[in-house]
Structure 1
Amino acid sequence: MKTAIRVLWTICFVLAFNTAVSTHTAKGATLPADETAGSPSIARMLLDKHFHDLEATSKGTMLAAGSGAKGSSGGYVALEIVTETLKGRTGTFLLQRTGTMTHGTPTLSVTVVPDSGTGQLTGLAGKMSINIVEGNHSYDFEYTLP
């Protein structure tokens, strides 16, 4: 069964001394869950994002567990292949996301996978923080390029 999800988020990338504000559309398809009788299930989803005001797209896979109910606990991991033009430099890189929710309190780590940059983004290193305020997402992307 496939389910399409469309979400419009406001994002803000802080790129060295420059700031770009953009929106992106995220859609995904759910895949069959990995289930074992008597155990929590692991949900699987394909990710597909298009950043409207930046020259970037991403595709990836996410695994998640937990009910998603308010005040609940759970976790997810995701890998995304990002194709981007960053300050005039074109290439791809991988983002790794790791998130947990403990009784409704989230923690999240988003990092550029070391040595994953290609093309003019070879050597890219960095991390991203995602801020969620009243359902709106803002992203601070700190990075270095050789």
Structure 2
Amino acid sequence: MAPTFSLRALVPVLVSGCAASAASAASAASAASAASAEDPTMTHRVHGPFEVNLAPQPVEDSDEAEVLGRMRFDKRFHGALEATGLGVMLFNRSPVEGSGAYVAIERVSGTLAGRRGSFAFQHNCHMDGGAQRQSITVIPGSGTGELAGLSGTLRIRIEEGGAHFYDFEYSLPDH
């Protein structure tokens, strides 16, 4: 018999598990930032809080609903990134405790350091027996308006009590 779980309980476990890997990636980001000092395109870092609302979506095959799921989500970013994010997430929970994965596409619209436009993130995160990997990147070519040419990576942190924060390292031409 497949394990039962709450969709609302699973997603925070996957997201927070993947977010835990962000700390180990911070030193690698520092090294990459130092290397980019020679690049004429400046790399910037911004941080701030965000709220997220999750809405479970129906799964077409009820036999798979125990391990596969789908969610729509909306976010409100604050700080240097003042924007809304709308996305769709697909996830899988493994029968192995502490394992699972999610992928998502998220469209973000608003301002980044005072520049208005929109762009999209691609999320690819997984946990393997408690070991986490998080990859959230700007989709190349997705920037519009004053955010055309945007590239970068986002890390999610979920602190004790459930507060969500982002760390966004990005580059923009002529910024």
TM-score (norm 2): 0.64
CA shift in 2, pair 1:38/1:99, >3 Å: closer
Q: 1:111-130, aligned counterparts within 5 Å?
A: 111-130=137-156
Fraction of identical pairs, as percent: 42
The CA distance in 2 between the partners of 1:38 and 1:92, in whole Å, is 34
Equivalent residue for 2:90, pick from 39, 63, 79: 63
SS for the counterpart of 2:146 is: helix
Large movers: runs of 4+ above 6 Å: none
Higher relative contact order (CA closer than 8 Å, sequence separation 6+): 2
Q: Is the contact made by 1:34 and 1:43 (CA closer than 8 Å) also made in structure 2?
A: no
Give unpaired runs (5+ residues) of structure 2.
1-6, 13-41
Query: How big is the shift at 1:140?
Result: 2.0
CA shift in 2, pair 1:34/1:73, >3 Å: farther
Query: How big is the shift at 1:139?
Result: 2.6
Q: Which residue of 2 aligns with 1:93?
A: 119
The CA distance in 1 between the partners of 2:152 and 2:44, in whole Å, is 15
Query: How big is the shift at 1:73?
Result: 1.1
Equivalent residue for 1:107, pick from 133, 137, 149: 133
More helix by share: 2
SS for the counterpart of 1:85 is: strand
Q: 1:20-99, aligned counterparts within 5 Å?
A: 20-21=47-48, 23-35=49-61, 37=63, 41-53=67-79, 54-66=81-93, 71-99=97-125
Alignment of 1:139 with 2:166, yes or no, is yes
State the superposition RMSD in angstroms: 3.1
Query: How big is the shift at 1:20?
Result: 4.5
More strand by share: 1
SS for the counterpart of 2:141 is: coil
The CA distance in 1 between the partners of 2:157 and 2:54, in whole Å, is 21
> Structure 1, residues 41-77: CA drift from partner, whole Å, max 9, x if none?
42000011112444211000000000598x4211110
Q: Which residue identity lines up with residue 74 of structure 1 in the other structure?
A: G
CA shift in 2, pair 1:78/1:68, >3 Å: farther
CA shift in 2, pair 1:108/1:4, >3 Å: closer
